[in-house]
A and B are shown apart, each in its own frame.
Chain A
Amino acid sequence: MEFFRIHKDIPFMKHALVFNVISLVTFLLAVFFLATKGLHFSVEFTGGTLMEVSYSEPPALEKLRDALAKEGYQDAQVQNFGSSRDVLIRLPNRDGAETGKVSEKVIASLGAIEGPKPELRRVEFVGPQVGKELASDGAMALLLVIGGIVVYLAMRFEWRFAVSAIIANLHDVIIILGFFALFQWEFSLPVLAATLAVLGYSVNESVVVFDRVRETFKKKRGLTTPQVLDHAITSTISRTIITHGSTQIMVLSMLVFGGETLFYFSLALTIGICFGIYSSVLVASPLVMWLGVSREQFMQPKKEKQEAVV
């Protein structure tokens, strides 16, 4: 089998402007949704109590809500989770209340309701101070990834590559977040992990293309910069699609079999992978071009070294 039978280099760079405009628009949309709707943070970030209870037969949610309201938890969110027999209860933190004891009170009042008895599946309680730290740790992790990747790429390639790779891929991160804001999907710690993993993974993609760019510059003389970029993208496109496809197969498997806990994790990965292909190939390369990459930049180091010896 051979999926990709390409006769000539595809003139990607001719449409560079179009690609960049498309990504700019998506990016702005994502920022817009983030700004207007905001992220739906999970309990881990906001603090609060989250409980998952399971019943032998579907309970009436109204009754559960009434029982909780009677206990003083009017602000409890009660909803089905996965199946009609599983119920998820969310309670925000309140000042002064004995935060550590909420789960016991809730389960006691649920147990007092007539009908099927609840089985406690999971409790997650996060105090207010923990959430803030998580948010700042997340931001620090993101900064470290960006810094680390820029430094590494600048060392291995050139600063132009480093800058365009990181811009292209950060815009992926914003787009993932934009999706989570638009659909109000729950943004939890695993989703954060997925987002950062995607960042590292998409940069991969740019690296593979850049590697080819460097090689082509050195090997094939007489090509213009856009032609070199076109050649590099065309000759790696088959690998790009197949690799991402394989990773996506795995992620899809998690999306289908992983259950609720892994659902948003794999959803974030899916968005990241799809936009990763687009941005690392069709956004990063035009950026390198605009930043003014040329053959001389790859020929210089050798000459400098020789001079240094003399």
Chain B
Amino acid sequence: MNRYPLWKNLLIGLVLLWGLIYTLPNFYGEVPAVQVSSGKATLKLDTGATLKRVEESLAASGLQHDGLFADLNSVRIRFHDTDTQLKAKDAVEKAFNPDATDPSYVVALNLLSASPQWLTSIHALPMYLGLDLRGGVHFLLQVDMKGAVTKRLDATTGDLRTLLRDKNVRHTGISREGQNVVVRFRDVENQSRAKAVITANTNDLQLVEGQDGADFKLTANLTPLAQKTIQEFAIKQNISTLHNRINELGVAEPIIQQQGLDRIVVQLPGVQDVAKAKDILGRTATLEIRMVDDTPGALEAALNGTVPAGTELYNERGGRPLLVKKQVVLTGERLTDAQPGFDGQTHEAAVHLTLDAAGARIFKDVTRENVNKRMAILLIEKGKGEVVTAPVIRAEIGGGRVQISGRMTSEEATDTALLLRAGSLAAPMEIIEERTIGPSLGADNISKGFHSTLWGFIAIAVFMCLYYMLFGFVSVIALASNLLLLVALLSLLQATLTLPGIAAIALTLGMAIDANVLINERIREELRNGSSPQAAIHAGYDRAFDTILDSNVTTLIAGIALLVFGSGPVRGFAVVHCLGILTSMFSAILVSRGLVNLIYGKKRKLEKLAIGQVWKPGV
């Protein structure tokens, strides 16, 4: 009766084998590596070509590498030691960024798992360590949504002014008051006409009529839907802007994520220079629209060194030189949106730009005067400009809706739109949480966490073996398999392991032994009451099961509450705690029973169990 069917034994074996495989990468440690990725949004990394270039540059400087790896956005090169790594970084840097002041690639030092290829190919990776274990900077940024809405309302104020003037509606003033735009009139007639005009021409404003002394007024505010769209757009744009800027820092694996409705988390592992990181996060890039100087001969003269007065020489994407006038037609502030899309008639890929009212007016004038000429859109960052695109003006463009199309793939359109949006932050941001952990502290934390778990485990193991003999040993094996499965699961899920997470591993192990103590005590009790050894094992496991289930469910409830409401360190704790409870159910019940069955299951005439002394009252 104490035998498991073959399939059950196989299942336990397979699960443990799986656990072992996925735990393995954690033992191999890490090797130094160099990572090459694109440093500019205008530059897409061609991994095949990059691999070749890396190999050539390493061969040229006579450096040995241990393997090249490519993923979607980066190329990584493994090295035998940090010395070669540093030399290789310099060599690759020189080959990829000939102009050190204007790097187009990010060449960063990194660590790669040293586990063999076959493990990596089945996605068996080492656990993902949090910043408190590997060192680095963590920022939580709050996007000022009110600021984004205010910015939009300011633009709306200008729009309404233009609109009312175009439609000949007389008013005595338009102004933004808090989160509203207020238009004042002398009489009711103009008020109602204005209302009709505004309703017909806009779709994101709510209008309320009112009276203010002798004046009539219209109060406009943004509809909830419009506000939501603005906020979603603002956070998306800020994230993409941050991505572009952080590329410059040369961080191997930055994390930039939205948290909640209006927050952005930025994690930069390995970065120690907080001041520089903050500087780069807070910097503004600007977008400028200028006219191209197409005067015959001017470009040639400029290339020969004599740049005509009032113009500047820039490079277009793809490297062709372009002579651009210094006078700025429009700045990025006038651009409210840029989206990739398709031309309505030709179905070619296109980029759609939306300008605010003032921008639209200027744009209309400029395009009317410059039909068939080219205009350039420049992205200016760190005082350096780059031409994103330079389209030809086909006709006068009014209404603030601009379309750039022609000879563009849809991928290029997406890139261009992203670049145009990346010019500036859509809304101001503020750092509301910062955490910097030095590399030495990270290493300290790992060793502290590891040692607490190790010594605790050893102490429990010794005690269990002494107190419950063979059954104690079985319990320790079950506990070890619990640890194995937990680490495997954490590695598989790539959940972030933090110091509280390590504490949760230790605590979970300390609590998991409960199930085995329950079982062992129950078996002793059955023996005390005179059951035969086999019956005692059976009853012990059976009766303890209900209790184990109940007690684990209550612990799990607490774990889940922490998971739902916890953030930062608490979350790291909760994830491990919850997973640990699940693995402990498996190991304490199935693994230990399976072992006991293997040991005792086949013995027909079992006289005694090695479960330590069973004391009987009155004997």
A256: chain B residues at CB < 8 Å are: 452, 455
Say whether A257 contacts B451, CB under 8 Å: yes
Which residues of chain B from 584 to 619 have any CB-CB distance to chain A below 8 Å in the complex?
612-615, 617-618
Interface: B510 (CB within 8 A): yes
Q: Which of B544-585 contact A (CB under 8 A)?
A: 546-547, 550-551, 553-562, 564-570, 573-574, 577
Query: Does B39 touch A at the CB level, under 8 Å?
Result: no
- The main secondary structure of chain B at its interface with chain A is helix
Are B440 and A121 neighbours in the complex by a CB distance under 8 Å? yes
Q: Say yes or no for A242: interface residue by CB 8 A criterion.
A: yes
Contact of B452 among A2, A125, A192, A257 (CB under 8 A): A257
Partner of A265, one of B431, B440, B503, B550: B503
CA distance A266 to B499 in the complex (A): 13
CA A140 to CA B459, docked complex, whole Å: 36
User: Which of A23-31, A247-255, A284-292 is the interface stretch?
Assistant: A247-255
Pick out which of these stretches binds chain A: B14-22, B245-253, B513-521.
B513-521
Q: Mark B517-547, 1 if CB is under 8 A from A, else 0.
A: 1100100110000000000000000000011
Contact status B517-A246, CB under 8 Å: yes
Contact status A197-B569, CB under 8 Å: no
Are B566's CB and A235's CB within 8 A? no
B521 close to A122 (CB less than 8 A):
no
Contact of A211 with B566 at beta-carbon distance under 8 Å, contacts A121-B441, A122-B441, A123-B434 already known: no
Residues of chain B lying within 8 A (CB to CB) of residue A199: 558
Docked-complex contact B558 and A125, CB < 8 angstroms: no
- Return chain A residues, CB-CB under 8 Å to B577: 197
Q: Contact check: which of A149, A243, A252 meets B554 at CB < 8 Å?
A: A149
Known interface pairs A122-B441, A261-B499. Does A193 touch B553 (Cβ–Cβ under 8 Å)?
Answer: no
Task: Say if the beta carbon of B511 comes within 8 Å of chain A.
Answer: yes
How many residues of B sit at the interface, in one of the four size bands?
A: 35 or more
Cβ-based interface call for A119 (8 A): yes
Q: Which residues of B contact A246 (CB under 8 A)?
A: 460, 463-464, 510, 513-514, 517
Tell me the residues in window 112-170 of chain A with beta carbons closer than 8 Å to chain B beta carbons: 119-127, 129-130, 134, 137-138, 140-142, 144-145, 148-149, 152-153, 156
CB-defined contacts of B466 to chain A, threshold 8 Å:
1
Residue A38 is within 8 A (CB to CB) of chain B in the complex: no
Q: Does B140 lie at the interface of the complex (its beta carbon under 8 Å from any beta carbon of A)?
A: yes
Q: How far is the CA of A125 from the CA of B433 in the complex (A)?
A: 5
> B565: which of A1, A52, A138 is its contact (CB, 8 Å)?
A138
- Expressed in whole angstroms, the minimum distance between the Cβ of B127 and any Cβ of chain A is 18
A145 to B563: give the CA distance in the assembly, Å.
11
Pick the interface stretch among A10-18, A69-77, A202-210: A202-210
Could you tell me if A122 and B455 are in contact, using CB atoms closer than 8 angstroms?
no
Inter-chain contact A200/B555, CB cutoff 8 Å? yes
Task: Say yes or no: A265 contacts B500, CB within 8 Å.
Answer: yes
B560 — which chain A residues lie within 8 A by C-beta? 144, 148
| Interface residue B46 (Cβ < 8 Å from any Cβ of A) | no
Question: Is B444 interfacial (CB-CB < 8 Å)?
Answer: yes
Cβ of B126 < 8 Å from any Cβ of A?
no
Shortest beta-carbon distance, B539 to chain A, in Å?
12
In the assembled complex, the Cα of A138 lies from the Cα of B567 at a distance in Å of 10
- Taking A247-B511, A250-B507, A257-B452 as contacts, is the C-beta distance between A196 and B558 under 8 angstroms? yes
The winner among A1, A129, A200, A254 for most chain B CB atoms within 10 A is: A200
Q: Establish whether residues B511 and A201, one from each chain, have CB atoms under 8 Å apart when the complex forms.
A: yes
**Within 8 Å CB of A257, what residues of B?**
448, 451-452, 455
B residues less than 8 Å from A190 (CB atoms): 500, 503, 569-570, 573
Given known contacts A125-B431, A127-B430, A156-B550, A2 and B612 CB-to-CB distance under 8 angstroms:
yes
Cross-chain contact of A2 among B142, B514, B573, B613 (Cβ < 8 A): B613
Indicate if the CB atoms of A5 and B615 lie closer than 8 Å.
Answer: yes
| Complex interface: chain A residues within 8 A of B467 (CB) | 1, 242
Q: Specify the chain B residue showing the minimal Cβ separation from A142.
A: B561
Within 8 A of A (CB), among B440-465: 440-441, 444-445, 448-449, 451-453, 455-457, 459-460, 463-464
Does A222 make an interface contact (CB < 8 A)? no
| Contact pick for B547, options A103, A124, A203, A208, CB 8 Å | A208
Q: Are B570 and A189 in contact (CB under 8 A)?
A: yes
Q: Does A239 contact B (CB under 8 A)?
A: yes
Within 8 A of B (CB), among A221-264: 235-236, 238-239, 242-243, 245-254, 256-259, 261-262
Assess the B546–A211 pair: CB atoms within 8 A.
yes
Give the residues in chain B near A120, CB-CB below 8 Å: 272, 436, 438
Q: How far is the CB of B466 from chain A (nearest CB, A)?
A: 6
State how many angstroms separate the Cβ of B456 from the closest Cβ of chain A: 3
User: In the bound complex, do residue B556 and residue A189 qualify as a contact, i.e. CB atoms below 8 Å apart?
Assistant: no
Contacts of B500 in A (CB 8 A): 190, 193, 265
Q: Is A7 an interface position by the 8 A CB rule?
A: yes
Assess the A153–B554 pair: CB atoms within 8 A.
yes
- Given the known interface contacts A197-B577, A207-B547, A249-B456, the answer about A141 and B440 at a Cβ–Cβ threshold of 8 Å is no
User: Using a CB–CB distance below 8 Å, which chain A residues touch chain B?
Assistant: 1-2, 5-7, 44, 52, 54, 99-101, 103-104, 119-127, 129-130, 134, 137-138, 140-142, 144-145, 148-149, 152-153, 156, 189-190, 192-193, 196-197, 199-201, 203-205, 207-208, 211, 235-236, 238-239, 242-243, 245-254, 256-259, 261-262, 265-266, 269
Chain B contacts to A: CB under 8 angstroms:
140, 142, 272, 274-275, 278, 430-438, 440-441, 444-445, 448-449, 451-453, 455-457, 459-460, 463-464, 466-467, 499-500, 503, 506-507, 509-511, 513-514, 517-518, 521, 524-525, 546-547, 550-551, 553-562, 564-570, 573-574, 577, 612-615, 617-618
Q: Which 5 A-B pairs have the closest CB atoms?
A: A200-B558, A250-B510, A127-B432, A253-B456, A250-B456
29 interchain pairs, CB-CB under 8 A: A5-B617, A122-B435, A122-B438, A123-B274, A123-B436, A125-B434, A125-B435, A127-B430, A145-B557, A148-B560, A153-B554, A156-B550, A193-B570, A196-B558, A200-B559, A203-B554, A235-B525, A238-B521, A246-B460, A249-B456, A250-B506, A252-B456, A253-B453, A254-B507, A259-B445, A259-B448, A261-B448, A262-B448, A266-B503
Given contacts A1-B466, A103-B274, A197-B507, 19 further A-B pairs with CB under 8 A are A2-B615, A7-B617, A52-B441, A100-B278, A104-B275, A122-B436, A122-B437, A127-B430, A144-B560, A153-B554, A190-B500, A197-B559, A204-B511, A207-B547, A253-B455, A254-B452, A257-B451, A258-B452, A259-B445
